Structure formats: structure tokens, C-alpha cells
Amino acid sequence: MSKKTKISIKSLYKIFGHDPASVLQFAIDGMSKESLLEEHGHILGLRNIDIDMKEGDITVIMGLSGSGKSTLIRHLNRLIEPTSGKILIDDTDVMKMDGIELRKLRQSGMSMVFQKFALLPHRNVLDNAALAPSIRGDSVKHCHEEAMKWIERVGLKGFEYHYPHQLSGGMQQRVGLARALTSNSDVMLMDEAFSALDPLIRTDMQDLLLELQKDLRKTIIFITHDLDEALKIADHLVILKDGYVVQQDEPQHILLYPNDPYIEDFVSDINRARVLRVRSVMTKTNEKGKSKFESDIEEDDTLESVISKSDGETNLLYRVVRNGKMVGKLHMKDLVKSLVPRHASQAGVRSNVAS
């Protein structure tokens, strides 16, 4: 099943400086970020970005700080203007929108969740959550009904008359999430939405997001610098470095077949057993043959769960099923092998970044 492309970014460039257009050609011709800064005094923000984001998917854009990920997400609703390139949403060119159309897009087509929450400090939770419909000019009653619905959904019932400063970080971000959901937009932009939260609350919020996403099937663009987070929630993972896309694919695929030493280093620290799923490492087959299967496992099971099922025994063969039908087999030996990165990194990501 191929999903419809909701947002499409085509050869997007962003250069910061006093006259970006003048140095655009150098960037297109491949001049490095450093020499562009040294010789022309311009900072290359994004270089030749091409991403298709599918409807109903969570597209995660991952990169270290300075990789341009926050710049990229702000192009989608034109909080930042690109130097050149196209951004299509439902085949409408965002770059061609005038002020009123753009405002309409931001009011009802796209909502945003921010790293620093960015709630209105003088408004209570209910009014904050009701921001989007109230900007559109809906009646107060309707705004509050809509907002209440989502406040309950994110688990803040009973806090609607509190002010943001009375809430913890995690609860504030729930308000941020409710605010984005209340706008009823198809697209949600999440700019490091959970990065400012402590690990336990972050996991809670990720689970909340995934649970909501099961029902809502929104197109979500999620920015993060945390690979674990990216692998947990991504349907499509884009890895950004120094303003260009290093690799983009399904997260499982990137983990197993990294195409760049940078990414290899990145993924070498990951608990692969928890992230990899059976379908990514199994041998595809639907014939039963003579093999004797220990038992059935689901194709979406994590390797971790299979290991615990095997109780450490490495000489077992499992039958992989999807909806009760066999789709492949998995030998424990293959499983264990896949746990080791193809080229185990000597240096690690940190030394690479420092150099």
C-alpha cells in the first residue's frame, strides 16, 4: 500500500547572510559550508533537501545541533523563508501563498509544538489550548468545548483553570500538544517537542503521541537529536548533517544498512535488540519445508522479545507470521549476528564530531 504524499520538499536551499541570492550558485555547485563562510561570509543552513512526507506518517528529522533541523521544520509553515526551492503541501506550493493564504494555512492546516512550550503565560490552560480556534474567530463556547476535548485526551482534566507556571514541564508540554491538536490540522510540526523533558516523562509523552497517532493518523513531522526517540516513533527517518540529508529511509533499514560512516557511528550506540524487529532480519519465505519450528513469532516483535522467548538458546528456528500467515523464518544465529553493527565503530560518534 503506497500512501499519498502529503508534503514534498524539493531541492530546498537556505543560506543566511546579507545577500543569500548572490552566493546561492556556489552552494548549488557544492562549495563546502566552511569555505562559503570564509570566502563569502554567508552561512549555509540547508543544502539541496528533498523529502517526501507521506500522509499519516511520522517523519522524524534527526541531526545534531547545528545540522539545520529546526531551520528545516520552520520552512514548512514559512516561519523562515527559503533561499530557493519548492515546498508542496497537498500539491499546493507554499512559496506562492500570499499573506492571507499563509495565515490560513497556519491557522487550520498546520499546527506546531515547541521545544520551550511557548505557552501564553497570562492565559490559563483552557485558553492556551483554545488558541487556534480563537485566532480563527470561533465563538468562545465552541473554542472551549474543542479545547476541553483535547485537554481530557492528553490527561490534563482538572487543570484547565491553572496557569502554565503552575504546571510541571511535562504538563506544560501536554498543554502544547493539546493546543496543536485543538487546531484540528492535518499536519503537526513538532520541534524537539520532548527534548526539554526528563527521560521518564519523555517516554510518557512519546507513548502518548503514538497512542494518539493510532487514532488520528495525522501527518507528523518530528524533530529530534535523540536517536532512540527517533527510532521509537519514526515511520520515515531523515538524518541531517551540516544542512544536507545523509540518509533517509525506514528506520529499521537505516539501522541495518547505514550508508555513511557518520550514521554508522550514530547507530553504534543503540540497543539494537530493542529497536530492530523480526521482519527486518528474517529470511523471507512462505514454504514450510522440512524445518522444525520452535514456535511462531509476530513479524513486528522486537528482537529483545524473541531473545527472552528463546531463553538464551541460540539453536532455535522460529516461524514468522503476519496475521496468522507465515511470511518468513528466523534462526537465532541470524538474530544474534544482526545485533552487532556491520562495521563496529572504533572511534565512536563523538570523536568524529570533534574532528
Partner 1 sequence: MGYKEIFDSLGLRQWCGDVATKKEILSLDQLLAKAKGEQVPDRAWWDIPFPSLDNLHEACNTIPRTRDMVKGIENGFLYIKDYLKIVLDPLTQPLSWILDGSLYVLVNTPWWILIPLFLLLVQYISKSIKLSLFVLTVFVFLAFIDHYSFAIQTLSVIFVCTMLSVIFGIPIGILMSKSDRVQASAIPILDMLQTLPTFVYLIPLIFLFSVTESKLYGIAIILYAIVPVIRLTDLGIRLVDKDVLEAANAFGMKPSQKLVRVEIPLALPNIMAGINQTIMMALAMVVIASLVSAPGLGVLVLRGIRNLELGVGLVSGFCIVLIAVLLDRVSKAALKQINTSSQ
What is the contact surface with partner 1 in residues (CB under 8 A)? 77, 79, 102-108, 110-112, 114, 116-122, 131-132, 135, 163, 165, 179, 183, 189
Judged by CB, which is closer to partner 1: 221, or 255? 221
Nearest distance from residue 183's CB to partner 1, in Å? 7
The nearest distance, CB 237 to partner 1, in angstroms, is 24
Q: What's the closest the beta carbon of residue 132 comes to partner 1, in angstroms?
A: 5
Between the two ends of the chain, the Cα-to-Cα distance in Å is 43
Q: Which residues pair with 223 in a beta bridge?
A: 61, 191
Residue among 76 and 240 whose Cβ is closer to partner 1: 76
CB of 88 to partner 1, least distance (A): 19
Closest distance between partner 1 and the C-beta of residue 111, in Å?
Answer: 7
Cβ-based nearer residue to partner 1, 128 or 310: 128
Report H helices in the chain: 20-28, 33-40, 69-76, 99-104, 125-129, 131-136, 140-153, 169-182, 199-216, 227-233, 251-256, 261-267, 272-275, 278-281, 303-310, 332-338, 349-354
Nearest residue (CB) to partner 1, 103 versus 157:
103
Give CA–CA dist 52/75, Å, rounded: 14
- Closest by CA to 301, choosing from 325, 271, 281, is 281
CA–CA distances in Å: residue 248 to residues 47, 174, 272: 15, 29, 18
Tell me the closest approach of the beta carbon of residue 97 to partner 1, in angstroms.
12
Closer residue to partner 1, CB minimum distance, 60 or 180: 180
Using CA atoms, how far apart are residues 103 and 113, in angstroms rounded to an integer? 17
Nearer to partner 1, 94 or 189 (CB): 189
**Shortest CB 319 distance to partner 1, Å:** 49
Q: Phi, psi (5° rounding) for residue 165?
A: -70, -10
Would strands 317-322 and 296-298 be described as parallel, antiparallel, or unpaired? parallel
CA-closest candidate to residue 279, choices 230, 239, 227, 335:
335
Tell me whether residue 16 or residue 293 sits nearer to partner 1 (CB atom).
16
Q: How far apart are CA 91 and CA 299, in angstroms?
A: 35
Strands 244-249 and 236-241, bridge-based pairing: antiparallel
Long-range own/partner contacts, residues 246-249 (CB < 8 A, 24 or more apart): 248/51
Closer CB to partner 1, 30 or 99, in the complex: 99
Nearest distance in Å: CB 112, partner 1: 4
> In this structure, are residues 66 and 239 in contact, taking their beta carbons and an 8 Å threshold?
no
By beta-carbon proximity to partner 1, the closer residue of 108 and 203 is 108
- Minimum gap (Å) between residue 172 Cβ and partner 1: 12
Contact 207, 180 (CB under 8 A): no
